[in-house]
Amino acid sequence: TGIGTGFYRNGYCSTGDQDIGRHTVCVQVTKDFLQYSKSVGNDLSTPVPEYMFPGLQEGDIWCLCAQRWAQAYNAGKAPQVYLSRTHEKTLTYVPLDILRLYAIDSDEAEKALKDLNDQRDRLNKLL
């Protein structure tokens, strides 16, 4: 989209206390998803300048609210996910096994997860 995505518009799907919607799922949007989202009252195609929101088009990469992604998944309209760019807080709303089914970057994500788990194991040994 050319602008920073995510709640903080910093290009990352990071989250914090102010991010009530949990904009934590990094997706590549499709026309089908955008039409579905609009049909359920979440128009992501129309620009909203006051929120620095450009409106999305097919192919754009965007940080989507975790509950919205789950809603689209339940309706059979979920977009694919960049799992390695999706925040861990997403797992509060969607199981990892489901996200893996939609991952564009499966190999990269699995390596990152392994590295993270290795780091956690080393840290736990120190504690």
Give SS3 for 37: helix
Cα–Cα distance, 46 to 17 (Å, whole number): 27
Q: What is the pLDDT of residues 70-116, one digit of tens each?
A: 999 999 999 999 998 899 899 999 999 999 999 999 888 888 888 98
CA angle 54-60-63, nearest 5°?
A: 80
Q: How far is CA 3 from CA 34, 57, 86, in A?
A: 19, 13, 18
Can you name the residues that pair with 62 across neighbouring β-strands? 27
Give SS3 for 62: strand
Q: What is the pLDDT of residues 19-42, one digit of tens each?
A: 777 889 999 999 999 999 999 999
pLDDT exceeds cutoff 90 at 11: no
Report which of 99, 78, 74, 80 is spatially closest to residue 89, judged by C-alpha positions.
Answer: 99
Strand bridging mode 61-65 / 23-28: antiparallel
